[in-house]
A and B are shown apart, each in its own frame.
Chain A
Amino acid sequence: MLIFIQRLKKSFGDNKVLKGIDLEIEKGQVVVLIGPSGSGKTTFLRCLNVLEVPDEGKIAIGGQTMDFSKKVHPKAIAEFRRLTGMVFQGYNLFPHMTSLGNVMEGPVTVKKESREEAAAKAEYFLAKVGLGDKLEAYPFQLSGGQQQRVGIARALAMEPNVMLFDEPTSALDPELVGDVLKVMKDLAEEGMTMIVVTHEMRFAREVADKVIFMDGGVIVESGAPDKLFTKPEKERTKQFLSMIQ
């Protein structure tokens, strides 16, 4: 078991966003989270990266456990974050750095790798996402799809145990979505463990090992994509799927 999540809870003020999430993910699995807006799927993903600190519950990734019932130290959070790579809806590239600079930042500053080593690694990952010819480009010189692929390379460069994608294609023009999904599909085929929040149902059908339907801060139903999409058990799931298809 690579990832083990137990009774994860998170509130913002009176608003209970996550009401106790339990989930186990095997190494190499691709898990797609779907659900209506406000269902808590993005918050859940952000909790795994500890960008939101959960109020209660445990997260274990690759043998390292964070218990949020106790007070957690910022240093421990920073360490724990290195186990996960995050890809944001709005890319969030560093505008003052080139593609290469963006991808090198983690290895150089966090892992203390030498600049040569980090640059070689960054070049490798940028080539992998199809941007080997954009090493010196600044974010503003790139299309949304290219920026998002730099974002993926930046996360990969930290060599995380699991990649988290928070609606990675939602901000993109339709014709640019394909390139990003292709990169994600390739990653999945190479055996990367991935948790993806997305509205791309075709991607979920084709790539996911497991689809999870969340609503109201709980996991309503989960299963293999062909089962969940064709024969959902819960009424709420049926409703949601009929609305989006």
Chain B
Amino acid sequence: MYLNSITIDPDRIARLADIAGSSLQPLLKGAIFYTIPLAMITFACGLILAVITALARLSAKKIWRMAARFYVSAIRGTPLLVQLFILFYGLPTIGVVIDPWPSAIIGFSLNIGAYGSEIIRAAILSIPKGQWEAGYSIGLTYRQALVRIVLPQAARVSLPPLSNTFISLVKDTSLASLILVTEMFRKAQEIATTNYEFLLLYSEAALIYWVICFFLSILQSRLENRLDQYVSR
């Protein structure tokens, strides 16, 4: 331990303040143009995948259930970082070359699809059977009962866990830096390698993640309140 290096002189503080100020803009750019869009696009794609997978798991056809189980098991059973490396560094060895940005979108979407499917499956199962039956009794088909009656109610149930997943995703996008996506954390790394102020830049990046997630939690509770309008509590 080299505790003596902790002593900080006024010049150093001025330098740090200067770096913090000048790096803020590139970091925010990374967040606004890469981190946030990456999270939003992959969440949207992942959610579609999650609903399809959840319905496959609940299907009467065994082949669909098996396929969905296999997909969820494979994605949940392997590290996200390893999946990204397979997509970006592994596939080129068999001639499949995918750019960093699409690699990241595919990798993260597959992840959200798997984890989200379990949330949506549980939410669908939590809707009382009587709701399906009431739908059927007025002549709705399975698909109509699902879309009109069950999914809107399941959406409310799945909102808190899905928000959790989204917040995790925002932070997990930092892994995309390792497959050369110039998102916020990669920007922080790049700047830090020029001035060696790792603590400052990584802390600054951490703070920006925190601020983003803070606003997301506020958004979540607003959305919950809005969807609560038809439920007495």
Contact = CB atoms under 8 A, between A and B. Distances in A.
Interface stretch (B88-96, B111-119, B127-135): B127-135
Contact of B130 (A79, A88, A111): A88
A109 B131 contact: no
A25 B66 CA distance: 47
Interface stretch (A9-17, A33-41, A89-97): A89-97
B153 interface: yes
Given A88-B130, A94-B149, A95-B230, A110 B137 contact: no
A86 B137 contact: yes
A100 to B, nearest CB: 13
Interface string A68-89: 0000001100110110111010
Residue of A49, A90, A95 with highest tally of chain B CB at under 10 A: A95
Interface stretch (B40-48, B139-147, B173-181): B139-147
Contacts of A92: 128, 130-131, 133-134
A158 B136 CA distance: 12
A109 B231 contact: no
B148 interface: yes
A139 B134 CA distance: 14
A138 B231 CA distance: 8
A109 B140 contact: yes
Contacts of B142: 74
A158 B138 contact: yes
Contacts of B144: 109-110
Contacts of A123: none
A155 interface: yes
A140 B133 CA distance: 19
A109 B130 CA distance: 19
Nearest to B152: A96
A106 interface: yes
Nearest to A151: B134
B232 interface: yes
Which of B134, B141, B229, B232 has the most chain A CB within a 10 Å cutoff? B134
A75 B135 CA distance: 14
A105 interface: yes
A210 interface: no
Interface of A: 49, 51, 74-75, 78-79, 81-82, 84-86, 88, 90, 92-97, 105-106, 109-111, 138-141, 154-155, 157-158
Q: Kindly list the 4 A-B residue pairs having the minimum CB-CB distance in the complex, ordered from nearest.
A: A106-B138, A92-B134, A140-B232, A86-B137
Interface of B: 128, 130-131, 133-142, 144, 148-149, 152-153, 156, 229-232
11 contacts: A49-B137, A51-B137, A74-B141, A79-B139, A92-B133, A95-B230, A95-B231, A106-B138, A106-B140, A109-B140, A138-B230
